[in-house]
Amino acid sequence: MEKEADEYLMYSKKAIDMLKVFSVCLGFLLSAVVHAATNPIVVNVYDRDSQDYLRVKIHSQVVADSLFGEPLITCRAKWQMLSANIDGNTYSPNNFPAELVSQVRLFSLRMIFQIDQRSGFNAIACDPGHLGATGDTRWSYTVAGSPDWSRLIRDDIQNTYNAPLQSQFALNAAPESPGYLSGDDAKDLYQRVVLDGKHLTGSWVRAVALEKASLNLWPLRRHLQELQLVAEEKQLNKRRETAKPVAPEAIDQLFSDAAFDAQLRNAKSVSLQTEAIATSKDALAAIQTQAAQAERRYRQQLQHLQDADACYQDGDRQADQLASLVQDMRGCLESWSNLRPFYDDRERYGFRQGDRVAIEAQYSSVTPFDRGSALVRKNGQLLSINPQGKVQRNLGDVRLESNDFSKAGLVLVSRDGLHGYMNARGELIIDFSYQEAESFDSFQRAIVYNPDAGKLLIDEQGRVILRGGVKRDEDKPGQYLTVESYTEEDMGCHPARVDVEIYYQRHDADGNSIGGLEREAYSRRKICLQG
């Protein structure tokens, strides 16, 4: 889900902070939901590893709201495959079996909704969630989001207005570190253009685009590779027929130079064709592996969304109106939206809902409720509980190392001296594999340590972003330093010191380098024993 920054803080923030990323339902109490009518767009979506692409039509809907001074955004989409361009050739969906077309995936989208007039260009990015197959009439499975004001409104998108907005983007080169308006400017523009300006224009969205997406084209590639393999094997069989030994009665034919050369060329051709078939079979095996990996990523996106949705059920999520879908979540969320931890005189934690004790104080440590669950520790065991205090899962001797959930709902835990990350349902998302670790920051990054690998920067999927003695720049949030070189020079005992020189490379949260190498030099004293 696909990554706007948001941070959960225990006790210091009100319970609404536990709500805001995952539901806009309470916004109906405070402000009218702002709808936006959007027209379908047609866009080429490129494969990230090649120049292959799908031409697709995307329908989208978006709703904006605010809740206690925070932005609330949710959107959804559905799509249709118009054509596929593979290895420079364009194919209609009718060129492939229907069951293979239904296996083509479009996921991890980043939609762009332009929100101001043509005199300027500012936009809100939104992930429409998990899309079904091409032509599916159902809307994507989605949950609401509430990014920080400072990561809400993009100001880095360029458009000449000489062409439709959706054609302005090279989807295989979307920026990993988008630019945003400042928090104050974003808040002012959101209120003025989105919340207050809707009645003047009828819609606060000026244009829609797809900036980024992932594809699984591998089922179609596999089909084409299989057809190629069949053709190559057919050609090989023909050449083998031609290369059969000459019958005894025609043996004199071999004594002509032309016949001999023809036989030799045919034998070489059979050999080359055999090698080509072996290569095609290897390519087919690789395609099948890639297809399986892409399908796993597609399904993981749905699982991550369901993990982020406290009100997920197996029932229908296809409300006629997007606002109706949001409204339906309200009853579910009210059961835990105001639950807050408290600490009694027996040094035990419980939960209150308003002034009422909802769950008696009985725990040695707790997290806040997140997505309708909380982690608590009792009698040396870590438990996942629901808003009624019922144990959903006993996780054994696992320790809470933090009380702060990340944007994706992960908290730092440890077992047997190793650290990992778990969600409120008690599911271990990042395994116990680090000797040292920290909570995820507001940029969804954490620094972890292992003796073999050193300090690493990871994201909330456990992927390594940076290696090499990583440390964060405390003065510049979202920037991280890696050690590129480290030297020491022992100056002896006159003077008694060691001179140290370090060169760092600065990076952003996506691992992109910022500027050149930065030098740090200092000296440390040493003890000299006199003989």
In a domain, 178, yes or no: yes
Is the same domain home to 100 and 159? yes
Least confident among 97-111, 158-172, 219-233 = 158-172
What's the pLDDT score for residue 8?
A: 27
Is the same domain home to 78 and 135? yes
Least confident among 165-174, 365-374, 508-517 = 165-174
What's the pLDDT score for residue 135?
A: 94
Is the same domain home to 177 and 199? yes
Is the same domain home to 149 and 273? no
Which of the listed residues 326, 348, 378 is the one where a domain comes to its end? 326
Is the same domain home to 73 and 202? yes
Asked whether the predicted pLDDT for residue 341 surpasses 80, the reply is yes
What's the pLDDT score for residue 28?
A: 32
Nearest to 89 by CA among 261, 243, 269, 227: 227
Query: Rounded CA gap, 296 and 159, in Å?
Result: 35
Read off the pLDDT of residues 459-472 as tens digits, 9 standing for 90 and up. Answer: 998 999 999 889 99
Q: What contacts 185, CB < 8 A, 6 or more positions away?
A: 153
Q: How confident is the model at residue 136 (pLDDT cuts 50, 70, 90)?
A: very high
Rounded to whole angstroms, the maximal C-alpha distance in the chain is: 110
In a domain, 459, yes or no: no
What's the pLDDT score for residue 417?
A: 94
More confident residue, 204 or 508: 508
Average pLDDT value for the chain: 77
Which of the listed residues 272, 307, 326 is the one where a domain comes to its end? 326
CB atoms inside a 10 Å sphere around CB 7: 18
Q: What is the DSSP string of 129-169?
A: -B--STT--SPPB---B---GGGTEE------SSS-GGGG-
Is the same domain home to 181 and 63? yes
Q: 3-state class of 195 per DSSP?
A: helix
Is the same domain home to 74 and 164? yes
Is the same domain home to 130 and 82? yes
Query: Rounded CA gap, 9 and 163, in Å?
Result: 44
Least confident among 316-320, 423-427, 473-477 = 316-320
In a domain, 145, yes or no: yes
In a domain, 198, yes or no: yes
Instruction: Tell me the whole-structure pTM to 2 decimals.
Output: 0.55
What's the pLDDT score for residue 37?
A: 58
More confident residue, 243 or 494: 494
Query: Rg (Cα) of the chain, in Å, rounded?
Result: 30
Cβ–Cβ under 8 Å, residues 317 and 141: yes
| Residue 171 buriedness (CB in 10 A; 0-12 / 13-18 / 19+) | buried
What's the pLDDT score for residue 200?
A: 43
Number of domains within the chain:
3
Q: How confident is the model at residue 322 (pLDDT cuts 50, 70, 90)?
A: low
In a domain, 276, yes or no: yes
Asked whether the predicted pLDDT for residue 1 surpasses 50, the reply is no
Asked whether the predicted pLDDT for residue 160 surpasses 50, the reply is no
Is the same domain home to 39 and 173? yes
Read off the pLDDT of residues 187-231 as tens digits, 9 standing for 90 and up. Answer: 998 888 888 765 444 467 878 888 888 888 888 888 888 887 777
Q: How confident is the model at residue 499 (pLDDT cuts 50, 70, 90)?
A: confident
Which domain range does residue 195 map to?
A: 16-219+295-326
Is the same domain home to 472 and 510? yes
Would you state the structure tokens that stand for residue 488, as one six-digit string? 């020491």
Q: Which amino acid is residue 497, in one-letter code?
A: R
Which of the listed residues 326, 343, 378 is the one where a domain comes to its end? 326
In a domain, 409, yes or no: no
In a domain, 450, yes or no: no
Is the same domain home to 142 and 231? no
Read off the pLDDT of residues 249-276 as tens digits, 9 standing for 90 and up. Answer: 555 555 555 555 555 555 555 555 566 5
Would you state the structure tokens that stand for residue 284, as one six-digit string? 């087919």
Buried-state track 53-89, b at ≥16 Cβ within 10 A, e below 16: bbebebbbbbbbbbbeebbbbbbbbbbbbeebbbeee
Is the same domain home to 66 and 96? yes
- Indicate the DSSP class of residue 192: I
In a domain, 163, yes or no: yes
Cβ–Cβ under 8 Å, residues 411 and 398: no
53-67/34-36 β-pairing? antiparallel
